[in-house]
Structure 1
């Protein structure tokens, strides 16, 4: 059942309950069923206020396993039953709950249900009291009638709550009655407390009507007392939850064997329907462990989309199904009502997240302690797991201890029975500044570092065998004077010779200097996406060569990395005009991925350009480059293809070093291979065995590519055939569109395992000046923004236009479109005279107020909203249209002529 339908059902049930209460009251008036004794009407407003106060000042009794909530509305109904008729009781209780209906839609709904529940319960209870008889004289029979009517109110109230649970959440409704003894205890306590207070109010009224003024006093006292009890009980629950969960997880040597009881404990402690532990492996693959209230346990199962998003966010998250967010949508799709998630962070890496689903109605104070406990529990869990993994490895394979000591980022040292240090790993050296030679065999290392607890008490481990409890945190002063805070764990171990030693694992939790510097550098970049885009732009600009600017040459390149998070790799290209007037073109594919491969590819590219510029014959270029590179890096392996093209004659020569054959595509779609032969750099038989010589006719295009373009489908022959087929179909496209489309269609639907690159060299007398240009990007392709900016600058330069304002407007519009897009964003630019029309389109969800944004300057320090403000300041006219299917923003910028053109 969706939330809207359940709310409609609950509203209908509430209205019917109010109607039933009104019917009972009307019937009582018609038959003249009213008490023989009436209080003065002046007392009624005070009693109505008492009802309002009682339902507002609810009593929260919160524990780690059985949270409960009480109000004293029933107690305030008792004097109404004693002093007034049924209709007056119903009206007074309804009026007392009327303030709760003011607020948002959720608050109005909650106020309506409370009004209906208590009005109906009070009406039924008042009817029972009048049927039993309420007289002026406060006799035992009258007292018994009042007490019995209060019991009826409590039972009717609980029944109403069960019906509400069945309407709003049919799937979980049976859980509401899975503890009948607990429910009976709750209703009994509720009845006893309210009966005592109700009789107190009735006795006060019986003595004097002015006693009604004292009614709110006990309510306030019980509220303050219960709140103090709740806070104290919450503190106790916090300590018990952390202590018990940490004990369960840290007891075994391998903490992974305790995941099930650990989840069972925290699910029961927090009162959640399901507890989940999501862990991310070193290869970034998440898996989930889940324990549900029905006894179902899931061990290392795939994560759902919601848990994947929670891991990716890496922050403390609280989500309700009623929220208007992407996480709330995923929560509803998973059939959950709410969740609280706390990330587990190990250094700078998120290694997992603890998720609690469907907490059983925590009160505000309980929710605060639950969130704080869960956040602390996540920190302790990740340290327990990391410590357990380290200790487990030591126990399983003692021979790997030396490697662990050298490679771990945690400081690990051991002490023998006399308190002397026997091992001191490199992390300890880095943290303390003391080299191993100065501490091994000595007993004063901690004293030299002024080791102390958080309270300032010196840490002395010389007699560690007699210590029952070790400090969990330790402060020390490094040799350079810096203060270091360490989270420590201690394990007593038995050596192979029978002696005992103490193993200390110390994690440096002091904020790292590198993090502080990065925070200062990016303090104005609020969103991570903006920072990533800036870094990627700089990296792309650093490795991409400038266009050669040779007449008769139209050249373009398209590149896609195998890993979107690392938009550079081992596929790289180069072009350069040689002193002979020829165009030197090279494509390199280095074994490997990421920035390391980019570094190696740059070395190969620069070496090939160097040997080409110094006049090395083409058939010796590959072998000469291998000789120079081998002297620097003997492990480097790369395939290369080098072409030399003469724009005036069209003469083309191609040398290969283990690279796939080049293609030449004619305007009519004909495709032929240009296959040289030779060995790859870094392999035996390196060099070009023969040079392929041909000629490019006008309109023909040379295509150089890397094997990632033909190996994406794992069948290289089929990949080559598909590449030639696609190239023939799109042969007439401009060079840039040809390279982009070639990469896009070749990789469409394939699983990418390698970088892919396509470089196009077309022979043209002069590139046609298109009056418009268009770029289409996906939301993940923010790293291509720099290339779009460069290509737009070249397009404007061809039209003898220079305008930094236009480039900035286009950059801001395209960046905004990518942020809003679901699948694609398009930038279109058109020139008419000196006016540039710049249009950005996206297929996002739309913003009905988009045309109003950016008209005023946003406050200082606020990142959002500045883009459209800048666009409006730099443009002559800006129009925006946004619907549920997407948005379009169009701006007109008046550009000036190029400086060299104006001088002419």
Structure 2
């Protein structure tokens, strides 16, 4: 009897099915990941360009800097599948930037011997769904009023504790972004600052206080002004951090905090680095090359780790230095070196990205894309980035000399607005400063020159190294203040729009000088592109040996698990004559709260630490000065 079922596979039917699958499918093989197959939806997604036989990086060059190539290569190398939901992609099509979203799976494909020979990519274009959801979420804002009200209170608290603006400087561009991480939105312990110094240098600071919530925010609020005041009073970088260290030792909530201080001289690029158990700053060149700054290290604040040390470096024109919190580079279960490498890749790609969909200024673009791409797979800790670029050419003062005529005022206002935009001034400044200039200039046009006499109007605008704008409007006539009856709002408006106004009246003319502090806005809080938090890993403390007692610590050590670790250690160590050994090999995440607890537990010698070289815990112990108390 002959079976009606075919015993041999129907390859033509399989090819037809592959071609018409309702998902995007492509296959890439070999060390260079050359394209070997792609169905109709995949070909449509790349606009029917050639890809067969081409290396992935050559076939799809527009994906550089978006962590796409690295994901393929990681799956090929590790043999572990990965998946990303709603991956935001930027494409250039006919000179326009297209924003698309994909949910994508990367699956390793083995050969007959079990060796991974390639990567199968399957995905779905979810752009329409994402855009619909965004629209629905916007329309549902009223129904979330209570949540948004709570969010507003928390972010208002954080905004009052952190700088809402950074200084606007002629030779350095600054930007910062902060995203709080907590299952229930609450204030965090990360902090940042940028402090112009009297000698023309600028101090850049990022710090991290143990824990989350009100206690961490209160501790951060104590540390930031201490360091700011020390720096502004002329204390050198090492002395300023040592003063912060002494203050941190006085309060339990501030102990084991970390800080990174960079003092940058824009005139020659000299950079002084002082760090206390904080990740090393990253320098990004205009071409995307990156390097980490080493040296200037020390233990956490307030735990008796000794004096601070400084290292000296140089920032070339056009280069950007990036300070950040550990939440940017640390992920549960991931080696610290991998997080550092990922940040370098993302930062290098962000520097060279040019698109209408991302900020134009390098520092803003770095901060925005780093926060977006680092948190894309979820995050468990606050994320803070502070970027400073040494400009190739400082923004020159604006000098205008125009006829004192009404038709010249619009051009004067536009030129001043463009100049302020190039400096990175906030929207408030872009509105207030040109209006103040227009008001003073309009008075010149209407009242400085009498009769048929024609004259000139001069505007000078400059920003000093402290971020202070000096705006002057001068003429060769005679000042007469505009009154309400003459159609103007006069001197009161100038004083409302700026911080200080002086009028110098002379026989040969009048000069109005206005002073105000410009600011570049920081981004504080969750953004539309910031993903949600990842689910918390399980945590346990398991006895694995007696005499000596060895406890295996498994999972993340953070603010949510330190109580469990303390209790487990004390319970299993009760009544023992010898020390308890905490084996940290299986620790997947070691946050600042965990570092603080380990300092406390090892203080009297009754607890010892074991962390093999190469483990995540060993890296953190080395960074925080606890490795001297551990064995391999």
Normalising by structure 1, report the TM-score: 0.28
Q: Looking at CA atoms only, which structure, 1 or 2, has the larger radius of gyration?
A: 1
Structure 1 or 2: more helix by fraction? 1
Structure 1 or 2: more strand by fraction? 2
Which of structures 1 and 2 has the larger relative contact order (alpha carbons within 8 angstroms, sep 6+)?
Answer: 2
